[in-house]
Amino acid sequence: MTLEETTDQYRNRAYQWLSENLTLLEEELNEDDGGVAAYLNVDLETERRLLNETVVWHQKKLAAGFAAIDWPLEYGGQGLPSSYTQIFQEEEAKFVTPDVHEAFIVTTGMVAPTIRDFGSELLREKALKGILDGSDTCVQLLSEPDAGSDLASVATRAVRDGKEWIVNGQKVWSSAAHFSKWGFLLARSNPEVSKHKGLTIFLVPLDAEGIEIRPLKQMTGGSVFNEVFLTDTVISDDFRIGEEGQGWNIVMATLSHERAGTENWTAGGSYAQVRDLAFKTACNDSTLVRQKLAHLYIGDRLIQWNAQRAAALHKGGPPGADANIGKLLYGMQMDRVTDTVSHILGLGLVAEANEDFRWGEHVTGTPAYHIAGGTDEIQRNILGSRYLGLPNEPRP
């Protein structure tokens, strides 16, 4: 983009490029187009293929200047306002694109900006390019069996030994650890200070000695989550992100990027898919179903408008309150989808003989979205204390 290019001209140029590289969506979506599951339930080979399709498309956009749009020029971006990112996403939504794998979102949408904002120049040189273009997949090593919502209670220990750190501990709910190159690790480096102050972030190579990865079977049938065990794992201090003890502030910035990623909601069954399901099952004349569809449509628009507002207000740095609002809106919309398809299908939701059994994968996966990325209760606490000025909850 040149300085003389207006937003309308940018939108037209983006649409033209997209039309040369993708297929335009039909005006009326077919309910069978695209998946509706909240979480993947595929074999490892299929999962790798889906991720690779996402990465290839992302790299094509990156080469054309339509990815990392609001990143600084020196880190491979275009140096444009976030509103231009929103413009491109709006145009891209008009076309058929690969399904976005969760590991890709973590890698390019969360870890990449965190290294950009907090990593040393040496770390940026070593790791940022491969993470930004999606070729080096990253996994979050944050939650532990005794530290989920209370993330500051992590017990994984990192003990400094000269220019290295010796790490011992266990992480859980680590999506895509089974094929990631890097782990974004939160560890306790100083047990003598308050729990929020004694934390440090590392980028750990997952092929390092002492790391064991075990898959966790979900009730959806898939195994995208893992347990990760670290036993006397050695990490060079070059892979520390930010200053020692700065881990809590850094991880909060990282999670704000995750919540911001829900602003452009598409996964887990769209409004158009539920609408077409109602028509296919001849439920569209039901007053109750039409009311539920109206609520779904309103929720869909609210998510888009919140994303547009966030893009217009974003002035650099981690996202603000709109990211927390977007996270809550996303979870609420997932619940509306569950409620509507459950009403439409009835017992057919769990009858494997019914071709709509696939919606069962949506229903069993939806509850996780009220937990992943910080529970709904945490989002409301953050909005109340940080943005509305309400008093914090009492602490023991």
pLDDT at 356: 65
Compute CA distances 114 → 96, 187, 253, 376, whole Å.
30, 16, 7, 23
Of 341, 370, 381, 363, the closest CA to residue 31 belongs to: 341
Asked if 258 is an active-site residue, the reply is yes
What is the rounded average pLDDT for all residues in the chain? Answer: 87
Give the residue with greater pLDDT, 349 vs 291: 291
- Exposure string (b/e) for 363-372, b if CB count within 10 Å is 16 or more? bbbbebbbeb
pLDDT at 350: 79
Per-domain boundaries in the chain: 7-132, 138-245, 251-387
State how far the Cα of 394 lies from the Cα of 396, in Å rounded to an integer. 7
Residue 290: how many CB atoms within 10 A of its CB? 13
pLDDT at 48: 87
Q: Does residue 3 have a pLDDT over 70?
A: no
CB-CB contact of 269 with 36 (8 Å):
yes
pLDDT in tens, 286-317: 999 999 999 999 999 998 888 878 777 766 55
State how far the Cα of 370 lies from the Cα of 180, in Å rounded to an integer. 25
pLDDT at 259: 52
- What CATH class does 7-132 carry? mainly alpha
What share of the chain has pLDDT > 90, as a percent?
54
pLDDT at 296: 95
State how far the Cα of 114 lies from the Cα of 250, in Å rounded to an integer. 7
CATH topology of domain 138-245: Butyryl-CoA Dehydrogenase, subunit A; domain 2 (2.40.110)
pLDDT at 295: 96
**In the structure, what pLDDT confidence band is assigned to residue 59 with cuts at 50, 70 and 90?**
very high
Q: Please identify which of the residues 47, 91, 92, 258 carries the catalytic annotation.
A: 258
pLDDT at 141: 96
pLDDT at 260: 52
Q: Does residue 111 have a pLDDT over 90?
A: yes
Four-CA torsion 26, 30, 32, 36, nearest 10 degrees:
80
Which CATH number is 251-387 given?
1.20.140.10
**In the structure, what pLDDT confidence band is assigned to residue 363 with cuts at 50, 70 and 90?**
confident
Q: Does residue 31 have a pLDDT over 50?
A: no
Report the SS3 class of residue 363.
helix
Q: Does residue 29 have a pLDDT over 60?
A: no
pLDDT at 270: 86
3-state secondary structure 86-148: HHHHHHHCCEECCCCCHHHHHHHHHHHHHHHHHCCHHHHHHHHHHHHCCCCCEEEECCECCEC
Q: Does residue 73 have a pLDDT over 60?
A: yes
pTM of this prediction? 0.80
- Amino acid occupying residue 304: Q
pLDDT at 52: 94
Give the residue with greater pLDDT, 286 vs 33: 286
Chain centre to alpha carbon of residue 343: 29
Of 186, 169, 187, 181, the closest CA to residue 227 belongs to: 169
Task: Over range 101-126, report the average pLDDT.
Answer: 94
